[in-house]
Amino acid sequence: MIEEKAPTRTSLAELGEFGLIKHLTEGFELKNPSSRKGIGDDAAVIDFKGEKTLVSTDLLIEGVHFDLSYVPLKHLGYKAVMVNLSDIYAMNASASQITVSIAVSNRFPLEALEELYAGIRLACEIYNVDLVGGDTTSSTRGLIISVTAIGHAPEKKIVYRNGAKPNDLIVVSGDIGGAYLGLQVLEREKAVFEVNPNMQPDLADYTYIIERQLKPEARKDVPPMLSELGIKPTAMMDISDGLSSDILHICTQSGVGCRIYEEKLPLDPQVISTCEEFNLDSTTIALNGGEDYELLFTIAQKDYDKIKGNPHFSVIGYITEKNEGEMLITRSGEPFKIIAKGWNALKE
Ligand code: ADP
Ligand code: MG
């Protein structure tokens, strides 16, 4: 008879703080020449020679930003890195280092943190970034994880949110709305499971959107692609809160308005079919669903030919004078004022 093995649970107290840090971070090797000193001293040392340094940080709290009842820890580690790298790419820069700080309650065994770090490690490998430091401490409840991403770019390549000009084209990479819908599917399955724990979810119809939610990929490929096409966006940011609130950031900071065309919004077929099933309006989801980590940018009209027909990019509208407002033009040609309905951590 084969006995089923219970998963090993090693208490964090057994290792102590330094043992834990060593255990979690061993096997991370420095790959970038700019990483002069990584983990192990009082501070990391980074050298970008003549280039500018970019820094971005995010804080993720259990129960606010993630729910461990359906988010595997490995995915959480991966995603925590992605959301930060995405911010560096959104400046048209390269990401090269991260630091990771965690606060954990003693409810978590070592094996849970190993999973978290397996996701972080995978992200570092695939995205060619070095883990160069962090902090480890205890929390009274739940898991808190903060990642800081560090990157670099020549000053003249950096793209801010404030450079969009009237008549510029508005472009989005990939497709949008999937991550939010993936979350809706996961929440529904969680509710079903709570009623009947024997129910096995069948998620085959939702693989793409669930992956968009659980394992987002930051658009590392976009800055070099734009560079190869000979395009420097006039403004850029990543879509984390949702297209509606993010385009408004560009408009506000650039002092312009915009027209976005409903028919141009890039939607995956699975987003359309799932919206039908959930009785949701796909345009609303594309506008307000967040966490897609695609890039939203504006380009000069003269660059249109360089991007036309490119499968990675969709032109969804154009920038107007500020007094024309921020408008969505529906399929039937009706204009609607765009309002920010994306995720806002301090609202509600
Ligand atoms: P300090 O007392 O100076 O804060 P620590 O003992 O907290 O140093 O950390 C020792 C080394 O391990 C430092 O290089 C720090 O950046 C790194 N480190 C600590 N915690 C983590 C973590 N969770 N992930 C990655 N590196 C970490
Ligand atoms: Mg410390």
Contact status, residue 127 vs residue 81, Cβ threshold 8 Å: yes
- 241 annotated ligand-binding residue: yes
Q: What is the pLDDT of residue 198?
A: 81
Contact status, residue 7 vs residue 108, Cβ threshold 8 Å: no
Ligand 1 centroid from CA 340, angstroms: 39
Nearest CA to ligand 1 atom 4: 135
Residue type, 67: D
Ligand 1 centroid from CA 218, angstroms: 26
- 134 annotated ligand-binding residue: yes
Secondary structure class of 190 (helix, strand, coil): helix
Secondary structure class of 191 (helix, strand, coil): helix
Residue type, 88: I
Q: Are strands 257-261 and 326-329 parallel, antiparallel or unpaired?
A: parallel
Closest ligand 1 atom to residue 17 Cα is 6
Q: Which of 135, 145, 148 to mutate to test the pocket of ligand 1 (most atoms within 8 A of CB)?
A: 135
**DSSP per-residue string spanning 117-184:** HHHHHHHHHHHT-EEEEEEEEE-SSSEEEEEEEEEEE-GGG---SS---TTPEEEEES--SHHHHHHH
> What does residue 166 show for φ and ψ, rounded to 5 degrees?
-50, 140
Tell me the C-alpha distance between 327 and 54, whole Å: 32
> What does residue 34 show for φ and ψ, rounded to 5 degrees?
-70, -20
Ligand 1 centroid from CA 147, angstroms: 13
Q: Which residues line the pocket of ligand 1, CB cutoff 6 A?
A: 21, 25, 39-42, 100-102, 131, 133-136
Q: What is the pLDDT of residue 64?
A: 93
Low-confidence stretches of the chain (pLDDT beneath 50): 348
For the chain, percent of residues with pLDDT exceeding 90 = 86
Minimum-distance ligand to the CA of 43?
Answer: 1
* Nearest partner of 288 among 233, 330, 246, judged by Cα: 246
Ligand 2 centroid from CA 281, angstroms: 47
* Nearest partner of 264 among 175, 179, 165, 336, judged by Cα: 175
Nearest CA to ligand 1 atom 5: 135
Minimum-distance ligand to the CA of 145?
Answer: 1
Q: What is the pLDDT of residue 4?
A: 59
Residue carrying structure tokens 């940011």: 237
Closest ligand 1 atom to residue 18 Cα is 6
Order of strands across the sheet with 295-299?
Answer: 235-238, 295-299, 169-173, 313-320, 257-261, 326-329, 335-337
Tell me the C-alpha distance between 183 and 242, whole Å: 14
Residue type, 14: E
Q: What is the pLDDT of residue 348?
A: 47
Closest ligand 1 atom to residue 42 Cα is 3
Minimum-distance ligand to the CA of 148?
Answer: 1
Minimum-distance ligand to the CA of 26?
Answer: 1
209-223: pLDDT as tens digits: 999 999 999 999 999
Q: Which of 26, 84, 136 to mutate to test the pocket of ligand 1 (most atoms within 8 A of CB)?
A: 136
Q: What is the pLDDT of residue 191?
A: 86
272-295: pLDDT as tens digits: 999 999 999 999 999 999 999 999
Angle (nearest 5°) at CA 147 between 141 and 151: 175
- 161 annotated ligand-binding residue: yes
Tell me the C-alpha distance between 138 and 347, whole Å: 28
Closest ligand 1 atom to residue 38 Cα is 14
Tell me the C-alpha distance between 107 and 128, whole Å: 32
Q: pTM score > 0.75 for this model?
A: yes
